[in-house]
Amino acid sequence: MLTYFMAFEQKRIGIFDSGIGGFSIWKELIKELSGHQFFYISDVPNSPYGNKSSQFIRQRAEVLSNELLKEKVDIILLACNTATAEAIDGLRDKFNVPFVGIEPFVKSIESLDLGENNIRPVVLTTRAMHDSVRFKELILKFDKDKILTPHACDNLASLIEVAYKKGLDSVEKEIEEELKPLRDKNYTHAILGCTHYPLISDKIARYLNVECISPCLPVSKRVAYILKAGPIDSRTELYFKTSNQENFETFSPALLSLK
C-alpha cells in the first residue's frame, strides 16, 4: 500500500517538562507529526514541579523557553500540567512564539453519558495544579453538574520518575499506596491531570478499576493545527537534554516508555 504525504514544511517543535512526563505526549506527537524535528528539555534537577512555588515554576518555564528558542523552534509545548497552570499566560505575553499547554482534560466529561447514574469521574492532579486558580476555573467552567472529584496525588509523579529509571516493580507498592484512598470508591473514570500519569495508565486503570482519560492525543492535534502541519516524508528527528546539560543529543524512540 502506498503512503502519500502532503507537502508540509518541516517544523521544529520545542517541548519541556519537569521530568519524563512529557514522554507520554511526545509519543503522540511523533505519530501526528512524523518527519519533523523535536527538541525536548527535561528539568530533572528540579523535578517534580508539583510541590514547588508558583514563582519558582514561572522562573523555570522562562529559562527553559529561552533554551528552546535558541534552537529556533516554531512552537513550544509545555508538556506539564503544573507549568501550564502557573506559567503559560506569562510566557505568551513575553515571547513571540506560539505556546501550547496541557491541562486536566476536564472538558472530556462533555463526551460522557451523564444520563447514566453510575458515572463518577475523579481528576488526578499534582498538589500545585489542584490548588491553582486555573484548575478551579476549569472545574467551574466544565463541571456544571458537580460530578467531578478532584484529587491531589502528592507523590505519584516522583514515583513514576523512579519507575522510569528502575522499573515499575521497584515502586509498585508505593504507587498503590498513593492511589489507595481512591480504591473501592466506585469511580468509573480517571482524568489524568499530569503528563506523568499516562505513562502508567494501565496500572491506574487496573488498580482503580476505571477508564483512564488522557489529554495527550487532543493536545498533539492542537499542536499540528497551530503549525498547519502534518506528517512529511522525512526522518523524524528527536533531540533530548536535561536542563543541566549544555547540548541536545539524539534520542531513541525506544526510550519513550517505562522499562
Which residues are the active-site residues? 80, 194
Type of residue found at 165: K
Cβ count near 143 (within 10 Å): 17
DSSP labels, 174-215: HHHHHHGGGTTS---EEEEESTTGGGGHHHHHHHHT-EEE-S
Query: Cα torsion for 170, 175, 180, 183, to the nearest 10°?
Result: -100
Cα pseudo-dihedral 132, 69, 59, 56, rounded to 10: 60
Termini Cα distance of the chain: 33
Do residues 15 and 64 make contact, with C-beta atoms less than 8 angstroms apart?
Answer: no
Nearest-angstrom CA–CA distance, 164 and 185: 28
In which element (H, E) is residue 141 found? helix 133-142
Backbone CA torsion sign across 45, 175, 168, 173 = positive
DSSP result, 52-76: S-HHHHHHHHHHHHHHHHTTT-SEE
CA distance 24 to 200: 10
